[in-house]
Amino acid sequence: MENLYIEGSQDNYYVPTVDFSAETGVCTISGKSYLEDTNQFYLVLLEWLDKYFDEVNKPVQFNVMLSYYNTSSSRSILDIFDLLKIYEDDGGTVEVNWYCRDVDMEVVKEEVEDYVEESDLKINVISFTD
């Protein structure tokens, strides 16, 4: 199985950087997510994860390092979390880490709590100083 790498850009829209490793199971999405066709973009990520679960079937560490994301991106991120939860319920090992700047901690904690409530997936919030 091949890795998935998408170079982020900030032209007319903000495309996040995606770095999913089939060897390590570490999957990271970073940057900003404000896309022209959000559903199509995130469908590629969902399909890759689904294939990883079928073919590799090893632990997954999913890291979110987004400094901004719009509502449609948020819905697509929830779709990923739902898929991760299904994998976990089927016996897979899943770790989700959401990284945020110290100054954004309170807002991010509230948003992550909504994701946890919706997906029933444990999400670690990790702060950093920039």
Number of domains in the chain: 1
Range of the domain at 46: 4-128
What is the C-alpha separation between 81 and 76, in angstroms, rounded? 9
Residue 102's pLDDT is what? Answer: 75
Give the residue from 61, 63, 66, 78 showing the smallest Cα distance to 104: 66
Tokens of 53: 């679960």
The model's pTM is 0.93
Q: What are phi and psi of 56, to 5 degrees?
A: -100, -50
Give the residue from 32, 96, 33 showing the smallest Cα distance to 59: 96
pLDDT one digit per residue (tens) for the chain, 130 residues: 999 999 999 888 899 999 999 999 999 999 999 998 999 999 999 999 999 999 999 999 999 999 899 999 999 999 999 999 999 999 999 999 999 887 777 888 889 999 999 999 999 999 877 6
CATH number at 98 reads 3.30.750
